Structure 1
Amino acid sequence: MNDLTIFPADIAEMSVSQLAALLPEQKREVDKNLDEALDWLKKARAKFDAALDQCYGEQARAALRESGRDFGTAHISDGPLRIKFELPKKVSWDQKKLKAIAERIVASGEAVESYLDVKLAVPESRYTNWPPALQQQFADARTVEAGKAVFDLSLGQEA
């Protein structure tokens, strides 16, 4: 293969039209370079975040506890550096137990929506396997939209 030299920094300076006009080999190189850059950035970000946690995490968590909280935002300092530490609360619910609770609420005659956010969904794989008569009953409730297009580039010898 030729020595191609289009790097992410070059791409930032190019217009969409210029990128679209690149040769196929150059488009593949841009695609590969961007994927590699993203992978590198994700790994570098994870490593640096781990370093920040190692350096400041305990101090920041202690600041949260001192303010009577386990989650939220704390501000700490390291000399001239000011650090805003955010520790979000992540809540998950046991779906089987929630379903049982919802059934008890309905059985008691109350509206389940007063207590729970209810979202009904039909898996597309299930819907497409239904007989047409059943699909027709659900058709008015179904909206189909295009998702984000994905392009996977390879050159002839890579395929």
Structure 2
Amino acid sequence: MNNRITLDDLMGMPVGEISGLPVEQLALLLDDLAEERARLKRLDDWLNGALALRYGERARALRHALGKDAGTVRIEEAEGFVAICDLPKKPEYDQGKLRAAVETIRSWGSNPDDYIGIEIKVSETRYGAWPPEIRRLFEPARTLRVGKPGFRLERPKPR
């Protein structure tokens, strides 16, 4: 007889009951979940590869005809289906060149804020290594938020 709880079993169980399962059961469920995520990722990659093969060239040609390098195009299909093909823009900017551009705008007597948003980021690792007087200077501007908690179970190493 197999008493192993499956991912499908979890859907019908209260969270409090799940939290009371033996740790080995929880570890097995986490393993199952990792395998399912990996399987779904492979399926997603495979299906999107097929869609790219089917629509990629036509979408590229449509974008080219519209004078677009990226963006969304629509391809009419049979039975009223429409393939929506999106190629998102993901611009990246060289930070050193941006700083130089900001200084050029300032040298012209203009305000760079009229053209760009400037966000200053502080590395948490660097913040932790700063001397106390520097840290105190930045503390009023700092708000610490936390993300979603994550949990893993590490199996004991075999002896």
The TM-score bracket by the shorter chain reads: 0.7 to 0.9
The structure-2 alpha-carbon separation of the partners of 1:108 and 1:64, relative to structure 1 and needing over 3 Å to count, comes to: closer
Give the 5 Å matches for 1:114-133: 114-133=114-133
The structure-2 alpha-carbon separation of the partners of 1:68 and 1:24, relative to structure 1 and needing over 3 Å to count, comes to: same
Pairs aligned (count):
158
Name the TM-score, length of structure 2 as normaliser: 0.85
For 1:83-128, what per-residue CA distance to the aligned partner results, in whole angstroms no more than 9, with x for missing partners? 2211222211121111101111223332111111100122122222
The one-letter amino acid of 1:142's match is R
Find the residue that maps to 2:11 and give its secondary structure.
Answer: helix
What is the match of residue 107 of structure 1? 107
Identity %, equivalent residues? 33
Give the 5 Å matches for 1:1-159: 5-80=4-79, 81-157=81-157
Name the TM-score, length of structure 1 as normaliser: 0.85
The one-letter amino acid of 1:133's match is E
The one-letter amino acid of 2:110's match is E
Work out the CA distance in 1 between the residues paired with 2:55 and 2:145: 45
CA RMSD of aligned residues (A): 2.3
For 1:22-76, what per-residue CA distance to the aligned partner results, in whole angstroms no more than 9, with x for missing partners? 2211111111111111111112111211111012211222223333433222222
Give ranges in structure 2 of 5+ residues lacking alignment: none
Give ranges in structure 1 of 5+ residues lacking alignment: none
